[in-house]
């Protein structure tokens, strides 16, 4: 399995809209290799819990969510799912802010930057699963937040588009805020 270089701002591909994967394309060797490469790339980071194919230069509507405990969220329940052609079809409630970072949005020091980004607490999502079967489900909490971030990537939207630039903090500042001083 390859670990692929993650594309970062200002790479123009991050502003493209991802193309849907045809049902017949989900189980192809090429798509399955791409999913494995995304997972391997994601596993190589300490904080990442999700990644879209566009972040590694493939403008395809594939989102991998691999939630696992991280230094700032040590109590997360592990979760691993691939979403093809995911779309939010309903939102519920008000938006709530949660800390977010992105391996495609780096500060001057080359590390990810962070901000509290408001997102819906609960969403209904439609997608194709790894067996190319259409699924529809409600998700909430941290998973809903992560999934909205990844779906935004597929639409050329970065988390920094949803906040005021003055709300962005460096990786070091984020660690201080989260009591993870070096």
Q: Return the active site residues.
A: 150
CA distance 34 to 27: 11
CA distance 53 to 175: 27
Cα angle vertex 148, ends 91, 55, to 5°? 160
CA distance 91 to 80: 22
CB 101 within 8 A of CB 179: no
Q: Determine how many CB atoms are found less than 10 A away from the CB of residue 4.
A: 18
């Amino acid at each position: 399995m390859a670990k692929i270089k993650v594309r970062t701002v200002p790479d123009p591909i991050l502003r493209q809209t991802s193309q849907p994967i045809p049902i017949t394309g989900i189980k192809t060797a090429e798509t399955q290799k791409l999913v494995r490469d995304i997972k391997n790339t994601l596993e190589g980071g300490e904080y990442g819990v999700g990644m879209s194919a566009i972040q590694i230069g493939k403008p395809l509507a594939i989102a991998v969510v691999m939630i696992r405990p991280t230094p700032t969220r040590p109590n997360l329940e592990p979760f691993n799912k691939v979403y093809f052609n995911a779309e939010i079809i309903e939102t519920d409630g008000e938006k709530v802010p949660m800390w977010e970072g992105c391996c495609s949005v780096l500060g001057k020091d080359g590390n990810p930057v962070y901000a509290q980004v408001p997102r819906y607490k609960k969403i209904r999502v439609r997608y194709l699963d790894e067996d190319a079967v259409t699924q529809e489900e409600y998700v909430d909490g941290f998973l809903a937040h992560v999934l909205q971030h990844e779906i935004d990537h597929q639409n050329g939207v970065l988390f920094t588009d949803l906040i005021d630039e003055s709300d962005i903090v460096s990786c070091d500042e984020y660690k201080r805020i989260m009591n993870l001083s070096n």
